Amino acid sequence: MSFGLSRGRELEPGFTLPPALAPLPDDLLSNRKAAHVDVRAWYDDPTRPFELEIGSGKGTFLVQEAARRRETNFLGIEYAMEFYRYAADRIRRAELRNVRMLGLDAAEFVHWRVPDGVCDVVHLYFADPWPKTKHHRRRMIQDRFLADCTRIIRPGGELRVVTDHDDYWAWMERHFDRWTGAGRPFAREEFKPVMPPRGADEAEGPTVPGGQGDGAEVAAGEPSAAALKAGELVGTNFERKYRAEGRGFHATTLRLVAPDAPKPA
Ligand SMILES: C[S@@+](CC[C@H](N)C(=O)[O-])C[C@H]1O[C@@H](n2cnc3c(N)ncnc32)[C@H](O)[C@@H]1O
């Protein structure tokens, strides 16, 4: 399927794209750390905080956040190749050296490749809901993924989740209940919006074309006046599209408070 997103020049490893991954080792199951990749080494300054966005779509969150917080390194993972190329090209054009993009399955990359304790934050916004029961196993929120998060997030770090989908939210809540609370690895916290709502006067900021709707181009690091007024949670394309449709959102933060606490059976 084509989304008509092709633009820009051919992407090259080095800037935006990390180096090619080495093949998985033959002794993977007995030597899991041999498959790990030092994702922090992909950036100019590997000591900076590291945040992972899963399912970056057109890359709007990355372009906005990486420009606003240049002292943080971001990795976006998007497995739909056309969106991945589009997002990576946007990041290249915005000259954001603190972002890298991967075009592969994030669940598998997190499970096999990401080293322990490297992520300050994992962002999961408007993940595909896979509504049919036979497809639920494709949902990103699974016990295996949450177990992986207890390993890759540093103690005190966060998993941040937003969805518009009521049934997927109910599924998430059932999973989160198993992983949070007394004696569990995570604590549930209120979701703090990326850009807290500002007063109407302040929101009369720079006019940025296309602040609403799917396909919006927001200038790097500059949320539109409309976005600020709307009190967006994360400012992704899907949030803007669904907000324009009047949909409500569910959002939560899971903070890793006890990485070694017993995991649910
Ligand atoms: C509904 S879109 C949301 C995009 C973006 N987060 C937003 O809010 O605008 C979900 C995105 O996640 C991507 N995705 C779904 N499962 C994925 C996986 N296992 N690995 C990488 N990307 C995935 C899809 O290709 C799609 O672009």
| pLDDT in single tens digits along all 265 residues of the chain | 545 555 556 666 656 788 888 888 889 899 999 999 999 999 999 999 999 999 999 999 999 999 999 999 999 999 999 999 999 999 999 999 999 999 999 999 999 999 999 999 999 999 999 999 999 999 999 999 999 999 999 999 999 999 999 999 999 999 999 999 999 999 999 999 986 555 433 433 332 222 223 334 445 555 555 555 567 899 999 999 999 999 999 999 999 999 999 888 7
77 lines ligand 1 (CB under 6 A): yes
128 included as an active-site residue: yes
Per-residue pLDDT, 56: 98
Query: How do strand 73-77 and strand 99-102 relate by DSSP bridges?
Result: parallel
pLDDT computed for residue 88 by the predictor: 94
Rounded distance between C-alpha atoms, residue 72 and residue 60, angstroms: 16
Q: How far is CA 184 from CA 55, 84, 179, 191, in A?
A: 27, 35, 6, 19
Measured between alpha carbons, how far is 134 from 45 in angstroms, rounded to an integer? 43
**According to the model, what pLDDT value does residue 22 have?**
86
Q: Which residue CA neighbors atom 3 of ligand 1 most closely?
A: 126
- Closest atom, ligand 1, to C-alpha of 241: 9
Is 238's C-beta closer than 6 angstroms to any atom of ligand 1? yes
Q: Which of 110, 214, 238, 243 to mutate to test the pocket of ligand 1 (most atoms within 8 A of CB)?
A: 238
Q: Enter the pTM of the model.
A: 0.88
- List domains and CATH numbers for the chain: 32-195+249-256 (3.40.50.150)
Alpha-carbon span 180 to 188, nearest angstrom? 6
